[in-house]
Amino acid sequence: MPRSLREVVFVDGVRTPFGKAGPKGLYAETRADDLVIKCIRELMRRNPNLPPEKVEEVAIAATTQIGDQGLTLGRTAALLSGLPKSTPGYSIDRMCAGAMTAVASTAGQIAFGAIDVAIAGGVEHMGRHPMGEGVDPNPRIVAEQLVDPSALVMGKTAENLHDRFPQLTKERSDAYAVASQDKLAAAYAEGKIQPDLVSVATRSAAKGYGLAVEDEPPRPGTTIEDLGALKAPFRAHGRVTAGNAAGLNDGATACVLAAEETAKELGLPIKMRLVEFAFVGVEPEVMGIGPVPAAEKALAKAGLRIEDIGLFELNEAFAVQVLAFLDHFGIADDDPRVNPYGGAIATGHPLASSGVRLMNQLAAQFAEQPQVRYGMTAMCIGLGMGGAVIWENPHHADYGKEG
């Protein structure tokens, strides 16, 4: 029988405040799965027009699938969130792009007509489960020179990117990092971050009970001088520091995706329409360049140019990685279209969860800027990959028309 694909829309998204990983962090004594469960429950609370039985899939990503981040997390989170036992779920691992891949995967199911509504997201508790915990990389990866040993350490890959593109100096990285902190502080002051956040009850044996209501990692007021004094842990006289890279963090995200026709039937909000997505592989030693070919592939498939993109949400795993993207496309370091609310250098980067944070922020910016038709979320991915997703703004006068 002939089959036509359906339009997929981003209905709503939420996230927990992001915490610092470690024994003193917000979530040191909070389970990883409880963080994503909190997000799913909040999505259902915020969208009363969405009957629980209409959620036909739950895809949850985690990079380190062990302990309270293991056991087919999408299914267990669905059960513990109060969704019907008939709702299936699964887990995803594409390192930093886990949640982005969860969105792409469930969007494919929706577009194909297999399901109408899905929840996609990710969680990472790097305090409980450092990246790489319990893994056993095949020694042939390095022994047979498939990759350089530096490819297995993300900070070293960022140093390699500095080597490859000498114009991407430490000074530029530090200046970009300070701007990220400043933009996030301004966004908080203007109340632009808070709508995405779901408060999380916390417990500490030393401090008692608490409530996480805002991100823990930001360092407002950071200066170039502050960053200049930091050590480079990955290389003597290196350029990558704790100040111009995202930290080790804990947190979760989740979003609702639906067929456009289903969203309209149920009276659900439509915050973005999915236009195209692409994932690509690159040299693992310079994984930070990944978003460049991913963006090029997505743009080509969509029949668009980089000039058509009016807003960018780029994950700031490292400042140099964002700068490499901007340089390639001829975009200024301080272009106002890029990460208007700041990025992961300031908010934190709980690996597999971050893709949906980018989408949440892009959706909010679309509502603020109806003159912008297309936006992009993109990120580099460990072991040499990149991902990019192009979205259309439903507030634009030409929404849904042929571009």
Give the chain's count of helices (H) and strands (E): 12, 12
Note if 39 is an active site residue. no
**Which is the catalytic residue, given 39, 328, 380, 396?**
380
Q: At what angle do helices 354-368 and 98-112 cross, to 10 degrees?
A: 70
**Which is the catalytic residue, given 125, 129, 162, 349?**
349
Q: In a 3-state reduction of DSSP, which class is residue 249?
A: strand
Q: Is 56 within 8 Å of 78 (Cβ atoms)? A: no
Please list the residues that pair with 59 across neighbouring strands: 90, 120
Task: Classify residue 43 as left (phi > 0), alpha (psi -120 to 50) or beta.
Answer: alpha
Give the C-alpha separation, 178 to 223, whole Å.
6
Please count the other Cβ atoms lying within 10 Å of the Cβ belonging to residue 161: 23
CA-to-CA separations, 307 to 77, 324, 348, in angstroms, rounded: 40, 17, 29
Both tokens assigned to 27: 């979530």
Phi, psi of 64 (to 5 degrees): -105, 95
Both tokens assigned to 283: 């040299």
**Which is the catalytic residue, given 39, 96, 129, 255?**
96
- Where are the extended beta strands (E) located within 37-182? 58-61, 89-92, 117-125
Residues annotated as catalytic are 96, 349, 380
